[in-house]
Chain A
């Protein structure tokens, strides 16, 4: 009878699809749907969990839907329920329910009322998929959709500059986490020669043995997981995205960045503990990450003079402690810590505007000026240095930009010559020759043939990077990123002959259709406006909201968001890359990282940001 818990995932999804069809002005139906969904979910889940706990609390596993079966691997949706799931799911349900009720009033009459609740329900689905997931593939479905929800909610006020800029910032870091998780899955496939479920992972014995024989592989997987967890939970060196994500309505900030989304890293570490519990060095690394984050984050929190970032950094510091708890094996403690921190920060964010009155009132009756000593003594000097460093957020934001993104922008600019008629013709010729090679493999010398995947994936990557840093016409950038993807697929096809037509088609069916639709959207904008360069924001969503929506969907299709065939296609394609082809996997994964960024950047520049035609009130850039 416990085996029906997959309904906790499908139920929100159903609600999401229904919510899409409710007219914009029917606020009561839209919010009612969200409240009913989360409310029923909460009640059923509580009862379920109680019975389950009384019954002994044995972990449950369901092999739910088979998505794809190949010779070596099968991709399936699996669900899993244990105490970690129970805690995360219950807290998630409770807080989402409360926030949904709160938002019914709070978001009332906001232009994006429907958009907000759509996204919240979608988020709720993604969160549950992630929490209930029984294997990496399922987890990744939730993970990806969660990322998209984040992008949509940070840029909720899409007609202003800063939310759009910050949503790009957040999604960029998130994307790094996605890729790391993909690589962890990829290595895991190769290591175990099958897709492993979390239940098997927690058996322990199997991985324990592997840790002896395949130390580096296990370490690689663990490190990838840690990066993904650190990204999602805003640990060092990625912390600076969290305060910047507080751009949406306070309720969405509360549930995303105060409570649920930000604790996903904690969940991931708990869930994958089986991989790394035998690797002492890695545990030390997790402790180091948690500890250094706690110290840095709390120093920044203490001097924050603006409220939401203060709460964000305090939360990050506590999550750092959770990382330590997990590494030390205190998992129940970590679960309680998560539950407490999530509720507390949600509450703090929701009531944050009232702090104004509370503190001023308190000050009115209790203020005493603090004495200050400004001397040049070494200790005071050290303390000042620490203050100044924390005030600058330990340069985390600038460093991230400098080391993570600038080099790739630079490369992208350097290969700017890949545009123009001649270059395009050459690329098409090259691609055609690649296809020729694919079919005429036997006629090509082996040496030459073995280098082809690298060459093609490199070209693909360069095209994507070019698009990523393109400041010119959006349509060119769009074609360039689509072309880049084709080159990469071709490279993998050349690399592994097992990569079948069907599998390739699966990938391309989603992205090619999206590419065409997206191109048409951009063309339509160009009909209105000659200048659709990517050097600035155009904000077309103001006058073309429908077109914006279609373009957004085609962007997501291009990226290979779950629900599209490309999603499975990408996973299969990666699996087709052999373990030892380091360069190829680097090119392909970096390519996929920047592909999403390049695509969303085009969306952001053309459709979001300040509307370029000021015949109505437009927010200042700094607002």
Chain B
């Protein structure tokens, strides 16, 4: 397994810089700092989940979110009135609320605080600090700089960075942004500007940030704050510029852009707009009356903050308590030792596989399932046949040294006639409007009434051709390309296979067939499709990884090395890779031809199991989709689910990671008969084989950035879908293949759209580890970057003592015992009934939406 401890990059080292030097303005330093606060989402083709407030991560969760809220005007939690409604409908439980208050405020003050929470009126209007300084242009001069500058600024930067929407490219893209602007300005009879000064400043003047700020702002004390105000008035574009500057390779058609250049151009446009509108004007600092408060000054904790904090805790623990009660009352089923395991299957830890695993086990009670991050420990770049670029197939922070190439692809890449850019020309466009007019009407009719897969739809199974050959094994160390080794050597393969098998403790009792099931997601008309694919594979389907892992594990040389290390895989045990499409609920297996005759026969039987499990899984998922009649017969429901994933009109092909709330590291027997409603990431782990916690350390390293990152992105996109999420998808417009914006003049919108988060309850992740508390404590404390997630409360941590089965909650550096308030949870006797009777939300307002989430129950 690859260590991902290095994942928590140095971006997290900043926040709370309350008292920085006022007098000297150091551009480099200011920009360096600013980059941490800007959104760090890469172009949308590589959608990678991360903590939206990563810059504040070295502060405690609540301090951080309230500070961010005060500075930038984000909503940090659900609004007060929604918490109160949740309490009224019973979603926040009274007993939990009282316990939360009593623990934090003491029993004497319980009544008083409860009244504060439930009744007292607060002024809960957010009044952010950002923008106050620059706002003086409006209040003092009645100049709306945003309206004058933004439209052109966005259009210029978007045209410069554009990856292929425009058919007439920006004339100069081989130079850096500002140089390109300068070159275009020089070599043209028209100008970017309306007035002379800005033009001459660009061409010959002191065109630096301090130089221009001197003109615009005047007083050095205000420079930094002005820049923050300016850049955060369009944080989407600034963030994109900053990300592309740091990772130019994230664009296929690369550009040399920098935040510095971008700011200079914006300042020039501001000078131009001010010159045009005002003629003669004085710098902002001279005209303004009072000095606004420093952006990063400490934020006073108010009573309202405390109230919201208590509500958030009560909301979270209302759910966690139920989960723990469920875990406590779930029967400890141990695998029947006598029965032979029919097959074993490894799945991604992804919470969407939670229900699929449950149904596989239900349909084949003698099968065993495991969860492990979906790149299956093999990190590499993948080059599809004829691909001009590489796709990274491992967690985003890992930089692989290996390349796997595809060859022998059967079938051609299909094109979609109607997507030609020729319709954006005059005369060919004229002819095409007759030809394509009729065609598109017919196509639209079919799309609406008979949706089916097409080349324009993102197809999870299209990532790799199942008939192709992969260069998995490296036979010659010198076989390299672009500084990457092509394929893995046998020793490297063995190390990776061993890593994964040990982490899930599959080191003996192998079944004859072991499936390695990755996941991906098909969806139509969905720029955010990357957010539905496998997070452990950098937002790509994991099919190649599954196939590669199976190949490695089947390799006779690898088997020999594994045997030396004590993992004796029987000769007739074979691994089979597969890909599960989480949107369409379909599965595809790879290299089945390697199976021996007996395994092949068994595999045919297992296929029936998987199909049945997928039917049931589709049915369970369908309960949240209003357009599907869950009570319909299984095949109809399955078809409807499949159609969803290829329907152009469907903004919710699936619900992604919505509702994720748990991460369970431990044996499957702990969760096997508990209904967790697809809310838990599940990583298989056996404490018995790891008394020292060395394996645990490797398992836990990526859980913070990957699962915590996903959870927090959902959290923030949920509580402030406008400023930290992308708002509703419906009006989205593609900008330069980089991201989406609302309408024509909007700023880029990082974060998750409304359709992905509406089912999500904004609770932090509860990471449950089955091991002795002292081992867990030692493990997390060993790596500071990992410890930060827990000590700062961005993720809750809880250990289950394997012997006493007691819960130990990690709080302020120590584990303390937790006794669930709820003594027993309900029982499900019939899953079908549960699914069919589940209510669907009336509206997507928090209170209505949360009622769709079913309580934790014991499966009978």
Contact = CB atoms under 8 A, between A and B. Distances in A.
B309 to A, nearest CB: 17
A21 interface: no
B719 interface: yes
Interface string B225-250: 00000000111100000000000000
Contact of B429 (A160, A314, A382): A314
A310 B526 CA distance: 19
Interface string B416-457: 101100011110011011111110110111001100000111
A410 to B, nearest CB: 13
Contacts of B843: 25, 109, 111
B561 interface: no
A20 B644 CA distance: 30
B732 interface: yes
A388 B188 contact: yes
A385 B190 contact: yes
Contacts of B700: none
Interface in B701-721: 719-721
23 contacts: A98-B445, A106-B651, A157-B742, A295-B426, A298-B429, A302-B166, A302-B167, A304-B166, A340-B436, A347-B443, A348-B423, A350-B444, A350-B525, A350-B649, A353-B729, A357-B458, A358-B456, A359-B165, A362-B164, A376-B186, A380-B187, A392-B190, A623-B747
Interface size class of B (residues with CB under 8 A): 35 or more
Contacts of A302: 166-168, 424-425
A389 B155 CA distance: 12
Most buried by A among B75, B186, B743: B743
Interface stretch (B7-15, B341-349, B383-391, B689-697): B383-391
B165 A355 contact: yes
Given A246-B733, A309-B744, A353-B526, A303 B430 contact: no
B171 A384 contact: yes
Nearest to A298: B426
A253 B187 CA distance: 38
A340 B743 contact: no
Interface stretch (B86-94, B124-132, B196-204, B677-685): B124-132
Contacts of A299: 168
A364 B524 CA distance: 19
A352 B650 contact: no
A348 B158 contact: no
A338 to B, nearest CB: 9
Contacts of A613: 125
B159 interface: yes
Nearest to A373: B171
Contact of A353 (B127, B626, B734): B734
A356 interface: yes
B599 interface: no
A172 to B, nearest CB: 15
Interface of B: 44-45, 73, 75, 79-81, 124-127, 146-147, 150-152, 155-156, 158-159, 161-175, 183-184, 186-192, 233-236, 252-253, 384, 386-389, 413, 416, 418-419, 423-426, 429-430, 432-438, 440-441, 443-445, 448-449, 455-458, 524-527, 529, 626-627, 647-652, 719-723, 727-737, 740-747, 749, 758, 841-844
Nearest to B647: A105
Given A94-B441, A105-B627, A347-B441, A353 B189 contact: no
Contacts of B745: 162, 166, 244
B430 A347 contact: no
Interface stretch (A50-58, A526-534, A614-622): A614-622
Contacts, number: 349
Contact of B430 (A318, A342, A622): A318
Contacts of A102: 444, 448, 648-649
A9 B226 CA distance: 57
A98 B442 CA distance: 11
A294 B426 contact: yes
Nearest to B443: A347
Given A302-B424, A340-B433, A358-B416, A346 B440 contact: yes
A390 B152 CA distance: 12
Interface string A291-331: 00011001101111111111101100110010000000000
A74 interface: no
A303 B168 contact: yes
B578 to A, nearest CB: 23
Contact of A358 (B127, B434, B455): B455
B445 to A, nearest CB: 6
B713 to A, nearest CB: 15
A369 B648 CA distance: 31
Nearest to A304: B166
A302 B648 CA distance: 26
Contact of A343 (B253, B440, B844): B440
Given A298-B425, A306-B741, A360-B163, A343 B441 contact: yes
Given A305-B735, A308-B744, A318-B429, A357 B457 contact: yes
Contacts of B844: 109
B425 to A, nearest CB: 7
B241 to A, nearest CB: 14
Contact of A305 (B159, B445, B723): B159
Interface string A240-263: 000110111111010000000000
Contact of B437 (A340, A618, A619): A340
Given A160-B742, A369-B253, A363 B648 contact: no
Interface of A: 25, 27, 94-95, 98, 101-111, 156-157, 160, 162-163, 165-166, 243-244, 246-251, 253, 294-295, 298-299, 301-311, 313-314, 317-318, 321, 336-337, 339-344, 346-348, 350-360, 362-367, 369-370, 372, 374-376, 380-385, 387-392, 397, 613-623
A104 B627 CA distance: 9
Contact of A384 (B126, B184, B252): B184
A383 to B, nearest CB: 7
Given A163-B743, A374-B183, A310 B731 contact: no
Closest 7 CB pairs of A and B: A340-B437, A347-B440, A305-B162, A249-B730, A619-B722, A384-B188, A622-B747
Given A249-B730, A298-B429, A617-B75, 18 more contacts: A25-B842, A102-B649, A244-B745, A246-B731, A250-B731, A295-B426, A317-B426, A337-B434, A344-B433, A353-B740, A356-B734, A360-B737, A365-B413, A384-B184, A392-B192, A615-B126, A617-B722, A621-B233
Contacts of B740: 353
A279 to B, nearest CB: 26
Most buried by B among A103, A111, A351: A351
Contacts of B184: 384, 387-388
B152 A364 contact: no
B424 A352 contact: no
A555 B468 CA distance: 66
Contact of A306 (B126, B433, B527, B735): B735
Contact of B457 (A98, A354, A390): A354
A160 B668 CA distance: 47
A372 B437 contact: no
Given A314-B424, A321-B426, A382-B189, A110 B80 contact: no
Contact of A303 (B146, B166, B651): B166
A162 B457 contact: no
Contacts of B429: 298, 314, 317-318
B732 A353 contact: yes
A216 B183 CA distance: 51
B252 A162 contact: no
A256 to B, nearest CB: 13
Given A106-B730, A303-B159, A619-B723, A389 B190 contact: yes
A244 B165 contact: no
Given A166-B743, A310-B424, A359 B733 contact: no
B524 A354 contact: yes
Contacts of B152: 392
Contacts of B150: 622
